[in-house]
Amino acid sequence: MPVITRLALTDFRNHTDALIAPQPGLVILTGENGAGKTNILEAVSLLSPGRGLRGATLSAMARNDGPGGFAIGARLGDVDIGTGTLAAAPERRQVRINGADASAAALGEWLALLWLTPAMDRLFAEGASGRRRFLDRLVLAREPGHAAHASRYEAAMRARNKLLSEPEGADPAWLAALESGMAEHGAALAEARARTVAALAERLATQPTGPFARAGLALTGWLPTSDVQAALAAELRASRGRDGAAGRTLVGPHRTDLAVTHLDKAMPAELCSTGEQKALLLGLILAHADGVAEQRGERPILLLDEVAAHLDPQRRAALLDRLDRAGGQTWMTGTEPGLFDEAPASATRLTLSEGAIA
C-alpha cells in the first residue's frame, strides 16, 4: 500500500479548498483548537470503508456554509481514490477509484488505516459496540474483504429483524435465505476476528516490556465454534421466537466483545488508569501496524489525534523515534509545535489556522 502523496478537500468540515502534498514518514499538523486538524485526519479516514474516525453522518461533514456536498481525493502512487457526496443526496456516499465508480468496501484494497483519537479514551469503560468497531478496524487492516462481509451481514440482519416483526408472520423461505446469508458472512466475520486477535495477542505477548504497555487480548460474548457457519445458522433458526419478541437478533458475531488486559499488571483494562489505558491502546496499535506490515508488505497509515500531548517527554520521544524507524506514513496532530521537537527533519510540518494550511 503506497503512502498518500496528495490530499485534496473541497467543502469538507471547515476546509473550503485545501491541498496537501505530504511526504512519507511523519505528517505533523499543529494549530489551535478548532483550526481543523482533526478534520484533516477525518478526511483521510474516509478513504477507507466505514464512517471515519468520528463515526459522523455524511451530511454533518459538509461545510456549514457550503453548497451541501463535499469531496475528498487522494493520490496513492499512480492510483487516485476519492469519496464524497452531492448536495442533492447528502447521505449517499460516492466512491471513485481511478475515475471509475466503486463501493466503499473496495477502498480497503488500496489503503489500510488505523487511528487513535481522544474519544477512544473511553473505549474500555463504555459498551461493547465501540470495541467491536475498534476490533473490526484492526481486522480490516489485515483483511480488506472484512468490510464487505460486515456490510452484507448487517443488511441481512436488518431484513431478518424486520421480517420477524411483521404481524402476519415471516415467510419461512425468505427467512431461511436471510439466515443463510447471515451465517455465511457472520462466519467470515467471526473467523477473521479470531485470526486477528490470535496474531496480535501472540505478537504482544512476546514483545519486551518497553515505554508502551503490553495488552493481552481475548474474544468474549458470542464466540465461533469449530463449524461456525453451520452453528450460526442453527442458532438463528432456534432463536426466531426470542428475536421476534426482542425486536433484535440475540445471537451472532454482532454480540462479540473484545477483552483487553494490562499484561504486566495482570489487570483488566477497564480498571487501569486513564493514562495506562491510553498506553495500552497506543502499544496495541503500534504492534498491529508492525504485524500488518509483515503480512501485507506495506505498513498501514496511522492517524494519531492529539496523542503526543498525553505522553511524558520520554515516551513522546520514544514514540516519534519508533514511528520514524518503522517507515510508512503517520499523520499526527497537536496544539503546540514543541510537542514534536524530537521529530526528524524529514517530517512534513503543517500549521492550520481557521481552515487555512501553511
Q: Please give the chain's pLDDT, 358 residues, in tens.
A: 579 999 999 999 999 999 999 999 999 999 999 999 999 999 999 999 999 999 999 999 999 989 999 999 999 989 999 999 999 999 999 999 999 999 999 999 999 999 999 999 899 989 999 999 999 999 999 999 999 999 999 999 999 999 999 888 778 999 999 999 999 999 999 999 999 999 999 999 998 888 888 999 999 999 888 899 999 999 999 999 999 999 999 999 999 999 999 999 999 999 999 888 988 999 999 999 999 999 999 899 999 999 988 888 988 999 999 999 999 999 999 999 999 999 999 999 999 987 788 8
Cβ 304 vs Cβ 340: under 8 Å: no
Cβ 107 vs Cβ 73: under 8 Å: no
d(CA 114, CA 304): 9
pTM value is: 0.94
Please, what's the b/e burial string for 16-50 (b: 16 or more CB within 10 A of its CB; e: otherwise)?
eebebebebbbbbbbbeeebbbbbbbbbbbbbbbb
Cell numbers 503546540 label which residue? 336
Please, what's the b/e burial string for 107-127 (b: 16 or more CB within 10 A of its CB; e: otherwise)?
bbebbbbbbbbeebeebbeee
d(CA 341, CA 28): 11
Separation in Å, CA 38 to CA 33, 109, 139, 321? 9, 24, 24, 23
User: Residue 354 carries which DSSP code?
Assistant: T
Cell numbers at residue 234, please?
442453527
